[in-house]
A = this chain, B = another copy of it.
């Protein structure tokens, strides 16, 4: 048996212990994980310093280097996040439906853990703790396969968390960090369909494509967010501008940032020049179609690629459209099923937009930046699914469980023996 199969198999066995823990035991475990992380903060920071040195030696760039960096405050923040997960409602054992059949059988739908979840991710070491906490709170075992750039930080964080597991009688394998980062090992992990119940890739498009290509286990993809704001004919211009500024500039590097603005032609004259000015003042570069550039002549031309791009930067694509249907058609063609917004005062237009758009999150007169598990009331999130199956949109602890059937009878049979 290969090492990764042995590790995964041990995680599956340990997951049965986690699945049997009560809510209070899981909450106590997560709080002790938080405490262990704080106790070992110095070791985590030392390991992180090693990752930072290696990254610097490889000429890693600013934003990526910043995502990798830990300091005492960030470690404390990771510990606090663990404590927040410990306060979430426990999804395991929740009875979602209950029915008594005419033959007297009692039927319940009850949430159980998925089993073993493989998290495949890049860069930010906090994912190691966040993902572990959510998976464990939902009663699962977790296999963490982070990126090579954070391997020392991830190992130190995992070691701290595992120390708490053991103290609670949970086998350490319930939280397994894969330290063999060879691609063939990741591929083998993704093909352990008799052991791994779900793989969740989080990271760049290349990573997600790699996982989707090689996996034989179920995958919930966390793809790019090419989020659209459509400013309808009847939109309140000031409201729409606020949504645009918030969506594009408050944190351009995240998946719920806006990437494309669509403007109804009847409001384009009044809205677009003012919007261009406001966003340029905030450092945003615009890329537009012919009609946008007719209104703002010094705007760059947008290519087809620009409309499909997740810029993750202060760049905005814009198009003037004939009507609501043209906006919907643009989103169907270029969208990523993540989050789309309509700004409108016309309730019928809002309804039609909500009905026609099949993205995970669709909003009326609200900022795309609310497309987030915390903001939408899930508590913590393990990511935002763009797979239209099981969980679509922000995924919290509940999305790491599944409903099954529990049936109780008094000896009922389907075909009488007499």
A residues with a Cβ closer than 8 A to B are 16, 19-20, 99, 101, 105, 107, 112, 114-115, 193, 197-198, 212-213, 216, 218-219, 236, 239, 242-243, 245-246, 250-251, 350, 354-356, 358-367, 369-371, 375-377, 387-394, 402-415, 417
Contact = CB atoms under 8 A, between A and B. Distances in A.
Contacts of A405: 360-362, 371, 376, 393-394
Counting from the closest, the 7 A-B pairs by CB-CB distance are A366-B409, A246-B413, A390-B390, A239-B411, A369-B414, A250-B415, A363-B407
A213 B193 CA distance: 10
Nearest to A359: B404
Contacts of A366: 105, 407-409, 411-412
Contacts of A218: 218-219, 387, 389
A399 to B, nearest CB: 10
A392 B413 CA distance: 23
A18 B365 CA distance: 27
Contacts of A356: 16, 20
A107 B407 CA distance: 33
B389 A242 contact: no
A415 B372 CA distance: 14
Contacts of A408: 350, 363-366
A406 B193 contact: no
Contact of A19 (B105, B358, B363, B415): B358
Contact of A242 (B361, B377, B388, B417): B417
A198 B219 CA distance: 12
Given A107-B377, A236-B411, A246-B415, 14 more contacts: A115-B388, A193-B212, A243-B411, A245-B413, A360-B404, A361-B405, A363-B407, A363-B409, A364-B407, A364-B408, A365-B411, A366-B408, A366-B409, A393-B404
A390 B392 contact: no
B20 A362 contact: no
A388 B402 contact: yes
B243 A389 contact: no
21 contacts: A105-B370, A115-B358, A212-B216, A213-B216, A242-B413, A242-B417, A243-B411, A243-B413, A245-B413, A245-B417, A246-B413, A246-B417, A250-B415, A361-B406, A365-B412, A369-B413, A370-B409, A388-B402, A389-B402, A392-B403, A393-B404
Nearest to A369: B414
Contacts of A251: 415
Given A245-B417, A377-B107, A389-B198, A407 B216 contact: no
Given A115-B358, A242-B411, A417-B246, A402 B406 contact: no
Given A216-B212, A388-B402, A390-B402, A414 B250 contact: yes
B402 A392 contact: yes
Given A362-B406, A402-B388, A404-B392, A375 B414 contact: yes
Contacts of A387: 218
Nearest to A411: B239
A99 B245 CA distance: 26
Nearest to A105: B366
